Amino acid sequence: MKKLVIIALTLFLVAGMVFAQAQRFRNGNFTATGVSYNAATSTPDGELTARVTFRGNRITQIEVTAHTDSDAFVTMVTSTMVPAIIQAQNTNVDVVSGATYTSLALQQAVAAAMNQARR
């Protein structure tokens, strides 16, 4: 009986985790903007806009379409964080050291696009 209860609880927990992680997104492209900051003064000084593509309830593509940060920072961030966000299917990924504010702007933009795409 104890084994049966353990198996049932395990199945219940696994099903709950799968259900909790399942996002309900509309298919399409959604564009949103995040705020970037001046590293010296920690004040807002720019924006990063991303177009996020959703297919089959999944993030399938992220493209930065406009930004006011340096190309070097944006390249560092997109080359690392875009694959990580797509794999995780959320924005809870590590930021890029040395490009923290650009990383945070990308996270904000993708999170906002995810909110737009939610059913």
- pLDDT score at 21: 54
Per-residue pLDDT of the chain (119 residues; tens, 9 = 90+): 554 434 444 444 444 444 445 669 999 999 999 999 988 888 898 999 999 999 999 999 999 999 999 999 999 999 999 999 999 999 999 999 999 999 999 999 999 999 999 98
Residue 40, classed as helix, strand or coil, is coil
Instruction: Please spell the DSSP secondary structure of 70-119, one letter per residue.
Output: -HHHHHHHHHHHHHHHHHHTSS-SPPPTT-HHHHHHHHHHHHHHHHHHB-
Q: Is the pTM of this model over 0.85?
A: no
Element (H, E) at 5: helix 2-21
Query: Taking the domains of the chain in order of start, what are their residue ranges?
Result: 25-117
Fold entry, domain 25-117: Sufe protein. Chain: A (3.90.1010)
